[in-house]
Amino acid sequence: MYPSCKEILKRLQHLPKRYLGQNFLIDERVRERILHEADLSKDDAVLEVGPGLGVLTIPLSERAGRVIAIEKDRVLARYLKEEVGERPNVEIIEGDALKVSYREMAERVQRRLKVVSNLPYSIASPLVLKFLEEREAFESILVMLQREVAMRMVASPGTKAYGFLTVMVRLFTDPTIVTIVSPRAFYPRPKVYSALVHFRILERPRAEIEDLRSFKRLVSHAFGKRRKTLKNALKPLLGRDVEEILLSSGIDPGRRGETLSLEEFGRLYRTFKDRKKC
């Protein structure tokens, strides 16, 4: 697969673009592992972001009932339309995956989507968060990420990797690292290892959140200055009542954000929201 990848790119006179996070999967064993974990049937509609040269797109189309692939690179989108776009169950969209409405996409195909993607590193974190915000559009999410990003998503409270991304991911899903992937599996080789991650979407979030935007602001402030106590980190957001709000939530104002569990963040959010209603 490796020589053919280079030959295709040479024929297209296309150099991989670092700013788009283009690292093409060239390892057949990794591809087969992804397809196995995806567990697809003809009843499934698959979303693939960053299909590149179609290494996953073609076998996905042979297993799923429908495949929608979003490619931002104009040259690669044109290549995909020529190579796989004529397959009746494949739709190639040239566009920005961060600007697509997945709720509307799911409504259009009349079923929830299964995400199966080797995500571009450049948009992996914000795209996963967007998926979670539109989680009702998805049945499952299976994506390749930078290993460090994956470790942050599965981190435990009190660890260095635990942060905003961890809390948001665990609010809506059970994330599992399926396997770690060597840089040798890609062309060009990235400088970091990757991880295949499966997100099981929960039937109900782990905390009752009425206003996701407010919750995100709260969590973001808590982790904004990791060396600061919660009392100091949250004061710009909660004002002079910050200590009282923390104590009412059963949280020591002297603790730091990285020590709080998701359940504690949920309590803090509810106390803050109830105080604003008073």
Structural domains of the chain in order of their starting residue, each with its CATH number: 2-201 (3.40.50.150), 212-277 (1.10.8.100)
* Omega within 30 of 0 (cis) for the link into 126: no
Determine the pLDDT at residue 225: 83
| Tokens read off for 241 | 């009542």
| Tokens read off for 184 | 């040798």
Q: Give the C-alpha separation, 92 to 131, whole Å.
A: 19
Q: Give the C-alpha separation, 172 to 6, whole Å.
A: 39
Determine the pLDDT at residue 275: 78
Against a cut of 0.85, is the pTM above it? yes
Q: Give the C-alpha separation, 123 to 144, whole Å.
A: 12
Distances (CA, A) of 90 to 87, 93, 99, 140: 5, 10, 20, 19
| Tokens read off for 166 | 């961890």
One digit per residue, pLDDT tens: the chain, 278 residues? 444 888 899 999 988 888 888 899 999 999 999 999 999 999 999 999 999 999 999 999 999 999 999 999 999 999 999 999 889 999 999 999 999 999 999 999 999 999 999 999 999 999 999 999 999 999 999 999 999 999 999 999 999 999 999 999 999 999 999 999 999 999 999 999 999 999 999 999 999 999 999 999 999 999 998 889 999 999 999 999 999 999 999 999 999 999 999 999 999 999 999 876 54
Determine the pLDDT at residue 25: 95
Rounded to 5°, the CA angle 88-48-23 comes to: 125
Determine the pLDDT at residue 5: 87
| Tokens read off for 232 | 């100091």
Determine the pLDDT at residue 48: 98
The SS3 of residue 96 is: coil
Task: Rounding to the nearest 10 degrees, give the CA dihedral for residues 216, 219, 225, 226.
Answer: -140
Determine the pLDDT at residue 6: 85
Q: What is the DSSP string of 14-70?
A: -PPPGGGT--EE--HHHHHHHHHHH---TT-EEEEE--TTTTTHHHHHHHSSEEEEE
Count of CA atoms in the C-beta half-sphere (13 A) of 63: 18
